[in-house]
Homo-oligomer: A and B are copies of this chain.
Amino acid sequence: MKINENYLKLKESYLFSDISKKVGAFSEKNPDAKIIRLGIGDVTLPLVPAVTAALEAASREMGQKETFHGYGPEQGYGFLKDAIRDYYGEKGVELSSDEIFVSDGAKSDLGNILDIFSTDNTVLIPDPVYPVYVDTNTMAGRNIIYQNACEENGFLPMPDRSVKADIIYICSPNNPTGAVYDKAQLKEWVDYALDFGAIILFDSAYESFVREEALPTSIYQIESAKKCAIEFCSFSKTAGFTGTRCGYTVVPDELEFDGVKLGRLWLRRQTTKFNGVPYVIQRGAAAVFTPEGRSQIKANIDYYMENAKIVSETLDKVGIWHTGGKNSPYIWLKCPGGMKSWEYFDFLLAKAHVVGTPGEGFGVNGEGFFRLTAFNSRENVEEAVDRIIKASDMI
C-alpha cells in the first residue's frame, strides 16, 4: 500500500505549541505574573440559555421512543435549514433550503469541498491566511499561488488579471487580519471569477461581527455571485459553538461547471462520507435563530466587539497601525519599533504579560505583524490594554 505522498509536503506548524512553550517558560520564571491571553481565536463566553435549553430538551426527546431520532438527512433537518434560509432572507439573499447544507463546522466543509474539484486546478490563496486553505490543497497535490496581502492594500488584495486561478479563497471579515472587503471590492472578485471560469470559496465565519451596514455579510449580496461562489459559515464564533460543532455551506442551484450542478456533487459527497450533524446539536443551532436566541447572542457579540473597540482605540492612541477590531473580533497590528513578529511577542510577554499571536505564523506577509483577539473578559482586556500602553513607552 502506498501512502498519499502529498502529506509529506505539508509544513508542520508549531505556532501554537511554540507560543505555549514560551508562555510556560516565562510563567515558570515569573510565577507571580498574571498573564492575559489574547492569542487564540476561541470564544470565552458560554452557550446562551436559549441554546442550552434547546440542547437539554432535545436530549430528553432522544430518550423517548415517540420523539427519538435515528438517521437524519445528511444535509440537515428542515427546521434548521429553513431558519438559515430566513436569516439569509433578512440580508436580502434569497435561497431555497435545498441550497443549504448543514455540517459540523466550516473547517470540515472547507476541507471536504475540495473533494468535488479536480486536483488539476490552480488555487489562489491570500497570504497571510488561515492555514487550513493551504494544507487541504497541499494534501491533494494542487498547485497553489499566493497573493500578497499587506499594509499597502490594507490586507485586502484585489484580483490580478494577469494571473489565472481556478479556485479562489476569500475570507471576509478576515482571519487573521480582521480586514473586511466592501461590496465594490467583492464585485471585482466576482467579475474576475465569472470571466475566468473560476470558483470563489467564500469563508464568512465572522459575518456576525460586521457592524457597518454598508459592508457585505454574504457574497451573495453581490450580483451574480450565485454563479461563481460557495459560501461557508459557522455557529462557532456567532454563537460560541467552537466546542458544539455546527456550521453550514451554501451551494447555489445556479452554480454549474462543466454542465454539472455543484450542489449535486456536494450532496453526493455528503451522503457518501457524512451522516449529518447530531439531532440534539441541530436543535441547539436552530435556537440561535429564535427571538430570545438572537437577542442573547447579540449581547455576547456586542461584548466581544466592545473588547475589540477598546483594543483598537488603544492602538490608535499609541499610534500603532492596525486593521480589524471594527467589524471583526481580530485586531491585526504592525509591530511597533520595527520589531519582527516573534520579537514583539517576546516583548509583550516580558513587559506586559500579554500573549498574542505572531503574524509570521500565518504566512510570510505576516512577518512584522501581530494578532490580538477580543475573546476574553472585559476586565482582562482593559488590564491588557493598560499594560500595552505602559509597555509602549519602553520602545
Residues on A lying within 8 angstroms of B by beta carbon are 1-5, 7-8, 10, 40, 42-49, 51-52, 55-56, 59-60, 62-65, 67-72, 104-105, 107-108, 111-112, 115-121, 132, 135-136, 139, 166-167, 197-199, 240, 242-245, 257-258, 260, 262, 265, 268-269, 272-281, 284
Contact = CB atoms under 8 A, between A and B. Distances in A.
B59 A257 contact: no
A42 B275 CA distance: 12
A250 B336 CA distance: 48
A4 B167 CA distance: 13
A367 B255 CA distance: 39
A43 B70 CA distance: 7
A262 B3 contact: yes
Given A243-B71, A272-B111, A272-B139, A1 B59 contact: no
A228 to B, nearest CB: 9
Nearest to A68: B46
Of A119, A262, A272, A274, the most chain B CB neighbours within 10 A belong to A272
A48 B68 CA distance: 11
A272 B132 contact: yes
Contact of A275 (B44, B104, B240): B104
Contacts of A1: 117-118, 121, 166-167, 197-199, 257
Contacts of A49: 63
